[in-house]
Structure 1
Amino acid sequence: MTTSDRLIEATRELLWERGYVGTSPKAIQQQAGAGQGSMYHHFAGKPDLALAAIRRTAEELRGAAGQALDGPGSAYERIAGYLLREREVLRGCPVGRLTMDPDVIASDELRAPVDETIAWLRDRLASIVQEGLDRGEFDRPLVPADIAASVVATVQGGYVLARASGSTDAFDAAVRGLLALLAPRTDTA
């Protein structure tokens, strides 16, 4: 791994653990095993390095989400695959957590990859719901953009509830509840 990559990876971890304010250049250098000169040789400063780290984290999240959402199966199965995929629930979402960081939100440049990732996810989910509607997979009318927003809100809210309680139970319950609401009805009569 190059020094630049080590710095980016260290920053990604620290942003996830501590947020932007809690991530000092010294902590980044220590975690990366790189000196101050190396850091400033590769990056203009902390904001530049943080932007590279946020972009990489966003790309990774889109890749992981895309694997579930672009896989085989019905619209419901693909959404379920996304909701049930393995996550580090108690750590929270490495992208979503950045929305609670005032310095990230105050910076158009740092916020952009966060906004783009959330918009991508909502658009992708909405298109999957629309595909399901077009194929007659859902037995009731759904508004794709509303369902997409609900899925994202369930995941992000589930992270918050899980972190607050110190247990994944709240996250799991939110996912089960949303899937029960989305599941095609089965009439046994």
Structure 2
Amino acid sequence: MDARTRLIASAQDLLWERGYSACSPKAIQDRAGAGQGSMYHHFNGKGDLARTALERTAHEQRAGAEALFGAGGSPLQRLVSYLRRERDVLRGCPVGRHTQDAEVLADPLLRAPVAESFAWLRTRVAQVVAEAQERGELRAAPDADAVAAAIVATVQGGYVLARAAGDEQPFRDATEGAVQMITALAVPGEEFEEEAR
């Protein structure tokens, strides 16, 4: 990897581990094996590098989710796959953790990738829910946007509960609870019930 790519990757890791406020340019440079001159050749400072790193992280997270939402299988199976996907739970969400950082929230350029990522996720989940309703897999009564908001909030809240407990189980309980709620909203169908187990 070239120096710019290493700096971005290092910033991604350190932002996830420490958050923006506790992430120093020196720590990023050390992890990247790049000097100060190299950093300032490619970026205008810590904020510019952090914004680039946050955008990259948000893009990677969206791509991972889209791989599940756009996969084969029924819409409900795709939602269940998203909820049950493997995650590094105790590290927290690589995007969501920045909602707790006052400096990120105060800077529109740093906050934008976080806000855009969650807006995309809610919209995409709502699309899959609506697809399930159109195909007759999910009852038409629930509002797709409200269901999507609940799913996203469950995942993010699950991270918080798990990190507070120092144990992944609260996250698993939360996401499995969401799976059970989605299943309860499903129109009875043997195919979904068999494949979702």
Root mean square deviation of aligned Cα: 1.2
Aligned length: 187
The residue aligned with 1:63 is 63
How far 1:74 sits from its partner (Å)? 1.5
The residue aligned with 2:8 is 8
The residue type paired with residue 170 of structure 1 is P
Distance 1:139 1:58 in 2: 32
SS of alignment partner, residue 167 of structure 1: coil
The residue aligned with 1:89 is 89
The residue aligned with 2:143 is 143
How far 1:139 sits from its partner (Å)? 3.4
How far 1:86 sits from its partner (Å)? 1.0
Matched, 1:106 2:120: no
The residue type paired with residue 80 of structure 1 is V
The residue aligned with 2:73 is 73
The residue aligned with 1:125 is 125
Q: Which runs of 4+ in 1 moved over 3 A?
A: none
The residue type paired with residue 30 of structure 1 is D
The residue aligned with 1:175 is 175
How far 1:140 sits from its partner (Å)? 5.5
Structure 2: state its 5+ residue gaps.
190-197
SS of alignment partner, residue 55 of structure 2: helix
Structure 1: state its 5+ residue gaps.
none
**TM-score, normalization by structure 2:** 0.92
The residue aligned with 1:37 is 37
The residue aligned with 1:46 is 46
The answer to whether the Cα contact below 8 Å between 2:136 and 2:187 also exists between their aligned partners in 1 is no
**TM-score, normalization by structure 1:** 0.96
Q: Percent identity?
A: 52
How far 1:141 sits from its partner (Å)? 1.5
Distance 1:182 1:59 in 2: 27
